[in-house]
Structure 1
Amino acid sequence: MTVRLVLLGQKTFGKSATGNTLLRKEVFATCQNEYCQVEEGEVAGRRITVIDTPGWYMNVSQCNQKTDEEIVRSLSLSPLGFHAVLLVVPLDLTFYNDTLKSVFHIYSEWRQSSTICPFI
């Protein structure tokens, strides 16, 4: 069985670095990404698929439709769905309700129970 994960979070929060850590190899560029990227690997005998998404801005007025559409496009990159959504949040940041609302606005189809929040 392949474990399928998608990474979400604001810009510069460490989504790509988290994906690299999960896969135990440097496959995601750790700069600001404009497009989704899918990478696979094997860790501890298990196949893992990780989808890295572009981040959104803290200030909603800076967000644009292109980024929103690319984040939503990540849903189509795993036809079998996801086992978990990883919402990446740095430890030194206050996590605002508005951020969580933004995530569930974009991914209104997902159940909150499948969201994991790794603090980095």
Structure 2
Amino acid sequence: MLLKVPLLLGLIALGPPVCSSKFVDESKNTQLFAIGVEFAMFQFNQAQEDEYAYKLLWVGRSQRKLFSWNYLMDLNMGRTVCKKHDEDIDNCPLQEGPGMKEVNCTFIVDARPWISQFTLLDSTCLQT
């Protein structure tokens, strides 16, 4: 019984960092983060009732949750002249005039690269 007490205390002491929900800065150039951005953009476009696609203008915050593959990202997107199912939206010009729209979104994406699975855990968007 006495041997179990130090072991229990050690596990309690190690617990909080392992179970941390803290996000830390992540390079925007890492492959998994970039794939997460593409996934978030695709999900955003699919969820829109708008027939026009939005493309990435810039990435603000890029973070990863400690001890996980959860990515937190702030993305600024602009409405293009291309439809959402067109190919090569990245090279599509932005709409101008009354059709011009920009959206700032925060996404949390869970990546499971070993099974090629991505899940959108949360998204919040505001039109600017």
State the TM-score, normalizing by the size of structure 1.
Answer: 0.24
Report which of the two structures shows the higher radius of gyration computed on alpha carbons: 2
Tell me which of the two structures has the higher relative contact order, counting C-alpha pairs closer than 8 angstroms and 6 or more residues apart.
1
State the TM-score, normalizing by the size of structure 2.
Answer: 0.23
Q: Greater strand share, 1 or 2?
A: 2
